[in-house]
Amino acid sequence: MSVQSPISSVNDFVVRFANVNGSGSASANELFARSILRHGVPVSPRNIFPSNIQGLPTWYEVRVTEADHLGARGGVDLMVAMNPQTWDKDVASIEPGGYLFYDSTKPMPTSKFRADINVIGVPLTAITNSTYTDPRQRQLFKNIIYLGALCALLDMDPKLVEQLIGEQYKGKEKLLSSNVHALHLGRDWALQNLKCPIGLRVKKSDKVGERIFIEGNSAAALGAVYGGATVCAWYPITPSSSVAEAFTSHCKKLRHDPETGKAKYAIVQGEDELASIGIVIGASWNGARAFTATSGPGISLMTEFIGLSYFAEIPAVIMNIQRAGPSTGMPTRTQQCDIIACAYASHGDTKHILLFPEDPAEAFEFAAQSFDLADRLQTMIFLMLDLDIGMNHRLCRPLKWDDARQYDRGKVMTAEMLDEPGRDFGRYLDVDGDGIPYRTYPGTHPTKGSFFTRGTSRDRYARYSEEGAVYADNMQRLVRKFETAQDMVPRPLQANAAKPTKYGVIYFGSTAPAMDEAIGLLEARGHQLDRLRIRAFPFHSSVASFIADHDFVYVVEQNRDGQLRQLIVNENGIDPVRLVPILHYDGTPITARFIANAIGDHQDHLKVTPLRKAVS
Amino acid sequence: MTYIAKPKFHHPGLPKNELGYTHRDYEGKISTLCAGCGHDSITASIIEACYELSIEPHRVAKISGIGCSSKTPDYFLGNSHGFNSVHGRMPSVLTGANLANRDLIYLGVSGDGDSASIGFGQFAHSIRRGVNMTYIVENNGVYGLTKGQFSATADRGSKSKKGVTNTDNAIDLVAIALQLGASFVARSFSGDKTQLVPLIAAAIRHKGASFIDVISPCIAFNNHAGSTKSFDYVREHNDAVNRLDVLTGRDPITVDYAPGTVQMVEQHDGTRLALRKIDADYDANDRLAAMTFLQKHAAKGQVVTGLLYVDPDSEDLHSHLDTVETPLNTLEAKDLCPGAGALEKINASLR
């Protein structure tokens, strides 16, 4: 052990596992996170992985946080360094007084350690090799053995871990017993050979409550099931593939006709993103609820169809799980960088609806709601997640559904309606003044209500027309429809500081948990901020009011160019000087420390006493 | 494309089909294609086939991409919903529409530019999925709307109107459709309505991916000496392997066919194809033989027309996905939403 005073903390620390992709460590590391949850202590895990299958470095970080800070914190208190390739970087990332856990089978020169950290060596390879002969078993059980050692070091209850292993291998007794055996191998060795526990400890608590632990992509897919989606067409792309895979899995469990066993859904893996969105548009045109899931490069490919959806007014839902761009960018790193691309996707004048959920619970709700919105507004709806929400487990409130809720299919004219005396059906007539016309599904009526859908300009009766006035009339109605949407999409949520302040902060999506924590850090530095979490585009009028009510408003986002800020300036005519960009875009999730430092420094700068006052 | 509707009046003595509809009920708006365009002949054949099958016009969804051919759905079945989507992407839109409502009849109309170039992938994948549709390519080997460039189906060595020789090999969509597993593959000629009408009728009745490549000369840009898609060239090189009739289980459709032996092919919906064989060696149930036959005749510069292959036991995409018989677009919240109780169980499993 080092002479440096070791970090001492109960239920508030960060553990990071450094592994090699393909080593089978993911399930052991996730088991560690779940085990702490079973102690009643909240966790916030993040999987940091490369865009390849095997061999490159991968990390899994578990923030143990009784205070419920679910954003990334930054820094590492305990590094489980299992990857020689990243050793130096991993050792460097440990907080002073933190702990380094490593495989001590082969001695390491002292130069490979730091003087200000605490080194814990466990001969993992030696223990594994003396127990197992099969190479794959050696690899897999080594992960469980280090998990066992951590149980001892962190004072975790092994019964809770055993219980989880039991759930994981229910009905597979051989796997269950061998995993439990490996767990105890590691734990027993640590108890016999190391000083246990260390300064970091897990103590049973009751802070998890009824909350659930789920990935955003899975929750969004479940939202699609509950929202009535019957057609899903998709093309694999990280980090969105697990949306479609989860939708498939949910549908297999929940959507089969009990009598015939037949599927009440259709899922097609398209040949590309163009086909996927084409299938979605065809299905939606024909009255089914349909969606696709993709990421930035997929959005690029879909933009022609997105323009068609906008102009021909066909409902559809795209779940965009954002990753770092441009181009292939960093496929397995998170960003919020498709805001502008989605808001104005396609050529010509377009505006699209965007929804920004903050966590899996909201991803579920917004996903379900997006189908109502798409039908109601007859347009494309973008559910804007990102990798940080989509592919990581989050602790969130339980998912809720009101059985009295009915699907809102929007303005669909039936055969009976078409037969009403005096009824004038025109596909693009603005009957109600809200910019939203009525549509009919194909096959509705033998002689009434049919129309020709096209991407070319047409009049209110869907008749091809290139008359300038007819085109302008249609484009104006689309603007009216977009304005109508403002009151239909989720409103921003405002939270005011404890004391009156001239400063505000705007943020959205996966930034929310880090922002919640950052507010506390800023208060500790003496900075008060009102905050507004934007949940949708078009922006509600309260966004402009919030900005008007404050001298400066920080706009926190995870992209280089301040895309949300651009959108606010563009759509609300705000003086850009009044919106201060706080930007994080290295592909890692934004942290409370980063936000607090960036805003705090700016605030400190604002408080500098002007020179002339100081002199006088 | 036009918005000019045809006059409503018609001769009271026009013959009616089983549903009481006349030909006029199957027409659409006035065509704005060039006078003499082969595509208008195909439009007329679609109208004739739908009339003869006594299809309810509004139960048809007609979907196209972009181009001269893709304009044509506006010119037939005026009481049907049409969808003029984006260039080459008709197959995906049609696939989605079909998934939403399996009860409608799907006509996909495309062109050679649409299907053999920008939409080649979508053409291929819709065929291999077995989407229940009638996919008609109105094939003139040229880009008419942009005034005369070669398309990917133009034969190597053929000449454009400007005298340019095509040096690229042609894509034979029929050969591709056979290779990809289409369960109904035919080629015809827009100038041979006698052959084309029953082919379209049979394709509509067929369950699964029906593909018809119709050579349809472009009167403006590809109907000259040196073109292998001109009226004269196709008439001179046409080798019809069969003529057919469709028996609907009611009265046989009266069409004038060449005499010969008859081979009955049962369809899924109970209708029967009556193949009147004029080529003794030709077996329309043998995919491999059809592929060989096609290539041999192509090497001789012959345009083989007729029903080249049909699988009487075909399935469609809905069969592969094992979807419910009820159209997905009619399922309601009670059919689709698992409810709060199920969600509670899911929540419990996530703790």
pLDDT at B249: 62
C-alpha separations of A425 from A409, A457, B291 in Å: 18, 18, 49
Cα(A329)–Cα(A299) distance, rounded to whole angstroms?
Answer: 14
Strands (E), A439-481: 452-454
Cα(A63)–Cα(A306) distance, rounded to whole angstroms?
Answer: 39
Smallest Cα distance from A334 to chain B, Å? 24
Q: What are phi and psi of B161, to 5 degrees?
A: -60, -30
Q: Which is nearest to A99 in space by CA: A128, A76, A71, A130? A: A76
Strands (E), A27-153: 43-48, 57-65, 76-81, 94-103, 118-122
Which of A279, A304, A309, A460 should we substitute to test contact with B (largest number of B Cβ atoms within 10 Å)? A279
* CB contact at 8 A, A331 and A51: yes
What does the pLDDT look like over A180-209, one tens digit per residue? Answer: 999 999 999 999 999 999 999 999 999 999
The residues near A527 (Cβ < 8 Å, ≥ 6 apart) are: A503, A599, A600, A603
pLDDT at A1: 47
* CB contact at 8 A, B106 and B98: yes
B97 vs A214, A268, A282: nearest CB = A282
pLDDT at B264: 74
Q: Which is nearest to A401 in space by CA: B346, B328, B330, B335? A: B346
Which chain A residue shows the shortest CA-CA distance from B78?
Answer: A450
Q: Which residues of chain A neighbour B127 with C-beta distances below 8 Å?
A: none
Which of B92, B102, B104 should we substitute to test contact with A (largest number of A Cβ atoms within 10 Å)? B92
The residues near A131 (Cβ < 8 Å, ≥ 6 apart) are: A141, A182, A185
Q: Which residues of chain A neighbour B325 with C-beta distances below 8 Å?
A: 260, 262
Q: Which is nearest to A427 in space by CA: A443, A449, A455, A445? A: A449
Cα(B156)–Cα(A480) distance, rounded to whole angstroms?
Answer: 53
pLDDT at A609: 57
Instruction: Give the A:B interface size as CB pairs under 8 Å.
Output: 233
**Beta carbons of B97 and A286 less than 8 Å apart:** yes
Q: Which residues of chain A neighbour B331 with C-beta distances below 8 Å?
A: 228, 230, 264
* CB contact at 8 A, A307 and A348: yes
Residue showing tokens 């190479």: A135
Q: Which is nearest to A297 in space by CA: A237, A353, A350? A: A237
* CB contact at 8 A, B100 and B78: no
Which chain A residue shows the shortest CA-CA distance from B337?
Answer: A226
**Beta carbons of B329 and A441 less than 8 Å apart:** yes
Query: Is B122 in the A-facing interface, judged by CB distances under 8 Å?
Result: yes
Residue showing tokens 């309810």: B56
Smallest Cα distance from A357 to chain B, Å? 19
pLDDT at A157: 97
* CB contact at 8 A, B210 and B134: yes
Mind spelling out the 3-state secondary structure of chain B?
CCCCCCCCCCCCCCCCCCCCCCHHHHECCCCCCCCCCHHHHHHHHHHHHHHHCCCCHHHEEEEECCCHHHHHHHHECCCCEEEECCCCCHHHHHHHHHHHCCCCEEEEEEEHHHHHHHCHHHHHHHHHHCCCEEEEEEECCEECCCCCEECCCCCCCCECCCCCECCCCCCCHHHHHHHHCCCEEEEEECCCHHHHHHHHHHHHHCCCEEEEEEECCCCCCCCCCCCCCCHHHHHHHEEECEEEEEECCCCCCCCCCCCCEEEEEECCCCCEEEEEECCCCCCCCCHHHHHHHHHHHHHCCCEEEEEEEECCCCCCHHHHHCECCCCHHHCCHHHHCCHHHHHHHHHHHCC
Give burial (CB, 10 Å; 0-12/13-18/19+) of A168. Answer: middle
pLDDT at A243: 98
B100 vs A288, A406, A454: nearest CB = A288
The residues near B54 (Cβ < 8 Å, ≥ 6 apart) are: B17, B18, B19, B21, B248
Q: What's the order of all strands across the beta sheet hosting A316-322? A: A266-269, A231-234, A290-294, A316-322, A380-386, A353-355, A536-537
Query: Is B125 in the A-facing interface, judged by CB distances under 8 Å?
Result: yes
Q: Which is nearest to A322 in space by CA: A243, A399, A395? A: A243
Cα(A81)–Cα(A99) distance, rounded to whole angstroms?
Answer: 10
**Beta carbons of B79 and A450 less than 8 Å apart:** yes
Smallest Cα distance from A140 to chain B, Å? 25
Q: Extract the residue ranges of chain B whose pLDDT is less than 50.
A: 257, 259
pLDDT at B268: 72
* CB contact at 8 A, A334 and A588: yes
What the block records as the tokens of A318 is 């795209």
Q: Extract the residue ranges of chain A whose pLDDT is less than 70.
A: 1-4, 608-616
* CB contact at 8 A, A465 and A458: yes
DSSP H or E segment with residue A27? helix A25-38
pLDDT at B281: 80
Q: Which residues of chain A neighbour B97 with C-beta distances below 8 Å?
A: 282-283, 285-286, 442
pLDDT at A290: 98
What does the pLDDT look like over A270-286, one tens digit per residue? Answer: 999 999 999 999 999 99
* Length of chain B in terms of residues written: 351
Q: Which is nearest to B123 in space by CA: A518, A275, A322, A9? A: A275
The sign of the torsion formed by the CA atoms of B182, B187, B188, B190 equals positive
